Structure 1
Amino acid sequence: MMSGEQKTPVVFTGRTGEYFGIWIVNLLLSILTLGIYSAWAKVRRKKYFYQHTFIDGVAFDYHASPVAILKGRFLAFGLFVLYSISAEISPVLSGVFIIAFIIFLPWIIVRSLTFNARNSSYRGLRFDFKGRLWDAVLYYILLPILMVLTLGLLYPFISQRRNRFLAEGHRFGRSPFIAGFKVKDFYFAYLKALLLLVGLLLAAGLSIGLLNVNNTDAWAKESMQQAIVPLIFIYLLILTICGAFLRARLLNLVWSGTRVEHVGFSANLRSRDLVWLYATNLLLIVLSLGLLTPWAQIRTMRYHAERLSLVGETDFAHFVGEKKAEVKAAGEEIGEMFDVELALG
C-alpha cells in the first residue's frame, strides 16, 4: 500500500444490550420449538451483524430465507442421526458413512460458500462465489493426504492455497476478488509460530525444572501432582498465545493481499490483542454460564472491524451485478452440522 492512498475504515456499531435481547429470545424460542426456530434465529443473528457493519456510511445486508435454512437443517440433522445410528450398528457402516462424507465434502464446501455469498449484499449489490469443485477436491482432500506423507511440511502451502481459493472464488457483483499473498509468507508465519511455541515450551519446562532442582524426588513428585492443574493452564495459555500469533499474521497476510478491482484491504491485527480477547472472552463466558456470550461476540466483531480498512478510492458506482440463481441451504447446514471450517486465515 502506498502512503498516499486513501483508507476507509470498516465500522461496527453493534451494542451488547441490543444484541443480548436478540440472542436470549433466539435461545429461548429455539429451545421451546425443539430447534425449529433456530433457522429464524440464524437469520436474525446474521442480519444484526451485517446491518451494523458499515463501509463509507453504508451497511451490509443478509437475505437468506429461514425456511430454506430450516429445510437444509432438517437434511443435515437427518444425516447426523443416520451417522450416529450407523456407528452403533457397525464400525464398517460408520466407516462407509465417513468415506461418503469425505467424497461429498468439496460439494458441501462450494455450496455453502455460494449460499452465504449470494445471500450477502452491499449497496444493493449481491456477492457470489464461483470457486471450482475440482479446486475444493484438491485443497481439502488430495493435498491433505500428501501433507501426511510430508510430515506436515506441506501445510503452509495448503493454507495459502485454501485462502486463495476462498478469496478468488468470491465476486462482488461481476467483479472477482484477486489474491496476491505468497506461499513464502505463509511458511514464514508458520515457522515463526512454531519457533514461538518451542521457545515458550522450553521456557516453561526450564522454569519447572529449576523449581525442583534442589528438592528430593519424593517432594518433587508430590509437588508435580499438586501442579497438574497449573501445568494444564500454562500449556493452554501457550497454545492460546501461539494460536493468536498465527491467526493475526495470517489474517493480516490474507486481507492485505486481497483486492477487488481498484479497492484493496489493509489489516493490522495484533497478537497480544487477540490473546487478551480470546482469554478474557472464554473466562467470562465460563464464569457467567454462557450469559456473556453476546458481549464476547460483539467485542470480537468490533475488534476485527477496527483493525480492517479499505485502501483506495471507494467509488462503488461502476460495480455491476446480475441476478443470481437461488441456492439451497443444504450444503451450508450440512457443513455447519459437521463443523466444516471455511473462514479466512
Structure 2
Amino acid sequence: MVFGAETEQPVSVVFTGTRKELGGMLLRGYALLIPTIGLYRFWLTTWKRRFYWSHTAIDGDSLEYTGNAVQLLMGFLMALAIFIPLYGLFFYLSTQSTDAVLAGYGGAAVMLWFLVGYAIYRARDFRLSRTLWRGIRFDQAGSAWAYALRRFGWTVLMGITLGLVYPFMAVNLWRYRYTHSWFGDRQFSFTGSWKSLAAPYYVCWLLSAVIGGVTLGMASSSGGISASGQINEIGYFVFACGALPIGLLVLFYQSREWTRMWSAVRLGQAALTIKIRFRDLVGQYALFSLALGGVYLALAIGGFIVLGLSASGAFADGSFDPAVFFQYLRSSFVVLVLVVFGYLLILGAFAMMSELFLGLGFWKLVAKGATISGATSLRTVHARGEDIALGGEGLADALNVGAY
C-alpha cells in the first residue's frame, strides 16, 4: 500500500487562521481576566489552541484539540501543592541569616530549574495526547524525570563550556522528545546529528563573542562604564547597539536549527521537511516591534490625557511633578485605580502583540514552510487509548513555560 512512497507528491500543511479572528478572541479573553481574577486564562488558552489546531490542515484534514479548560485548571491546582510549601520555605528563609538565605534561595533556584525541564516534558505530553488528526491521537511516552535530569546535566555542561556543547545538547534533547513521540500505534524517529548544527552555531558563537568584546571595549572607552562599574546612558546605548547584531545572529541560528531538526523527524515512511527563513524571522520581530511601539504610543497619549484630567495638579505649567503625582496616589482612590488599570493595559498589550505577531507569526511560518512526503503510509496507522492524566500541564503553567 505504501509502494512508491518516495516518489509520491509531498503533501502540504495549510494554515487558514487570521490575525483579526485571533485578535478578537484575545480581546474578549483579556477583558474577562480581571473580573475572574485571572482564572479565565485557562479557558482563553483552550480557545487559542482550538483556533490554532482547527485552522491547521495536513493533506486537507485539520488537527483537532480535545483538551478543555477544567483539565488545565485542575493541573494548576495540583501544581500549587508544590509551590505552597516552597513559598513557606521562602518566608522561613527570609527570617534567617544572610548565608542561610543565599544557600536556601540558591538551592531553590536549582530545584526550580530542574523542575522546568520536567514541566516542559509533561506539558508537551498533555498537548500531544489532546491532539488528533484524522481521528487518531498523538501521544508521548518516555519519562519526564529522565528528560529533566538529561536537560539539567546538559545545562551544567553549557555553563562549564561557555555554551560550546550546545549542538550536542540540542540534538540529544530533540532526539529524546521525538523518539518517545507516537501517532496512534506508530512511533516517531529522529535522524538529526550535531554535525548539521555545528557550523552555524560555532560561527554565530564566535561572532557574538567578538561583538560582545568590542561592545564592552567601546562602552568602557567612551565613558559608558565608570571606574566603580556603574553603567550610564552612554553605556546603555552602546550595549543596545551591540545587542542588535547579536540578536540577529540568534535568529539566524534559530532558523537553521529549526529547519534542520524538524526536517530530521520521521514517522515510518513519512518524512517531515520544514524550511524557516532567517529573513522571515527578522520580519516577524520587526512587525512585532512596530506594532508594540504603536500600541504603547497610543496608551501613553491616552494615559497622559486621562491622568491630566484626574491628577491635573501634577501636570501644572505643562510639566510633570512626580512628588505631586505621588500625593495623588496616596490620597485619590480614582488615580490609584487608573494607574493600576494602565499597568494592566501595558502588560496586556505586550501579551497580545506577542501572540499576534510572534506566536501566530511563527505558527504560520512553520505551516508555510512544511511539507510531508510519504503521507500515504499514514493510512495504516491505528488508534491507541487516550491519556487521561490531568496534571500534565499544571506545573508548566505555574512556571510560565507553557506554549500555545
TM-score normalised per structure 1: 0.83
Q: What is the CA–CA distance in structure 2 between the aligned matches of 1:142 and 1:136, rounded to whole Å?
A: 10
What CA deviation, in whole Å up to 9, does each residue of 1:136-158 have, x standing for no partner? Answer: 14421233334434443322211
The reply to whether residue 308 of structure 1 matches residue 308 of structure 2 is no
The reply to whether residue 182 of structure 1 matches residue 199 of structure 2 is no
Instruction: Judge conservation of contact 2:76–2:397 (CA < 8 Å) in 1.
Output: no
The reply to whether residue 53 of structure 1 matches residue 52 of structure 2 is no
Instruction: Judge conservation of contact 1:62–1:119 (CA < 8 Å) in 2.
Output: yes
What residue in structure 2 maps to residue 213 of structure 1? none
Q: What amino acid maps onto 2:164 in structure 1?
A: L
CA gap of 1:124–1:272, structure 2 versus 1, over 3 A, is: same
What residue in structure 1 maps to residue 289 of structure 2? 282
The reply to whether residue 245 of structure 1 matches residue 252 of structure 2 is yes
What residue in structure 2 maps to residue 20 of structure 1? 23
1:233 is aligned, of 218, 236, 240, to: 240
Structure number with larger C-alpha Rg: 2
Q: What amino acid maps onto 1:17 in structure 2?
A: K
Seq. identity, %: 23
What CA deviation, in whole Å up to 9, does each residue of 1:282-312 have, x standing for no partner? Answer: 3422431425445313333222211122123
Q: Write out aligned runs for 1:131-210 (5 A).
A: 131-133=142-144, 135-198=146-209
Displacement after TM superposition at 1:123 (Å): 0.9
CA gap of 1:88–1:239, structure 2 versus 1, over 3 A, is: farther
Q: What amino acid maps onto 2:363 in structure 1?
A: M
Structure 1: stretches of 5+ with no match in the other structure: 210-216
CA gap of 1:234–1:98, structure 2 versus 1, over 3 A, is: closer
Q: What is the CA–CA distance in structure 1 between the aligned matches of 2:369 and 2:67, rounded to whole Å?
A: 28
- Where 2:380 maps in the other structure, the secondary structure is coil
What residue in structure 2 maps to residue 255 of structure 1? 262
Q: What amino acid maps onto 1:260 in structure 2?
A: L
Q: What amino acid maps onto 1:275 in structure 2?
A: V
- Where 1:266 maps in the other structure, the secondary structure is strand
Structure 2: stretches of 5+ with no match in the other structure: 94-100, 225-230, 297-348
2:73 is aligned, of 66, 70, 74, to: 70
Q: What is the CA–CA distance in structure 1 between the aligned matches of 2:155 and 2:354, rounded to whole Å?
A: 34
Displacement after TM superposition at 1:189 (Å): 2.8
What residue in structure 1 maps to residue 321 of structure 2? none
Q: What is the CA–CA distance in structure 1 between the aligned matches of 2:34 and 2:165, rounded to whole Å?
A: 44
1:272 is aligned, of 259, 269, 279, to: 279
CA gap of 1:259–1:125, structure 2 versus 1, over 3 A, is: same
Displacement after TM superposition at 1:273 (Å): 1.9
TM-score normalised per structure 2: 0.72
The reply to whether residue 295 of structure 1 matches residue 333 of structure 2 is no
Q: What is the CA–CA distance in structure 2 between the aligned matches of 1:236 and 1:95, rounded to whole Å?
A: 28
- Where 1:17 maps in the other structure, the secondary structure is helix
What CA deviation, in whole Å up to 9, does each residue of 1:42-91 have, x standing for no partner? Answer: 11010000000111111101111211111122333564455445334312
Number of aligned residues: 332
Instruction: Judge conservation of contact 1:61–1:121 (CA < 8 Å) in 2.
Output: yes
Displacement after TM superposition at 1:338 (Å): 1.4
CA gap of 1:97–1:13, structure 2 versus 1, over 3 A, is: same
What residue in structure 1 maps to residue 345 of structure 2? none
Q: What amino acid maps onto 1:337 in structure 2?
A: A
1:322 is aligned, of 349, 361, 384, to: 384
Displacement after TM superposition at 1:104 (Å): 5.0
Q: What is the CA–CA distance in structure 2 between the aligned matches of 1:4 and 1:89, rounded to whole Å?
A: 66
CA gap of 1:89–1:283, structure 2 versus 1, over 3 A, is: farther
Displacement after TM superposition at 1:16 (Å): 1.4
Q: What is the CA–CA distance in structure 2 between the aligned matches of 1:103 and 1:284, rounded to whole Å?
A: 35
CA gap of 1:61–1:146, structure 2 versus 1, over 3 A, is: same
CA gap of 1:191–1:5, structure 2 versus 1, over 3 A, is: farther
Q: What is the CA–CA distance in structure 2 between the aligned matches of 1:309 and 1:200, rounded to whole Å?
A: 37
Q: What amino acid maps onto 2:16 in structure 1?
A: T
Instruction: Judge conservation of contact 1:157–1:183 (CA < 8 Å) in 2.
Output: yes
The reply to whether residue 337 of structure 1 matches residue 389 of structure 2 is no
Q: What amino acid maps onto 1:13 in structure 2?
A: T
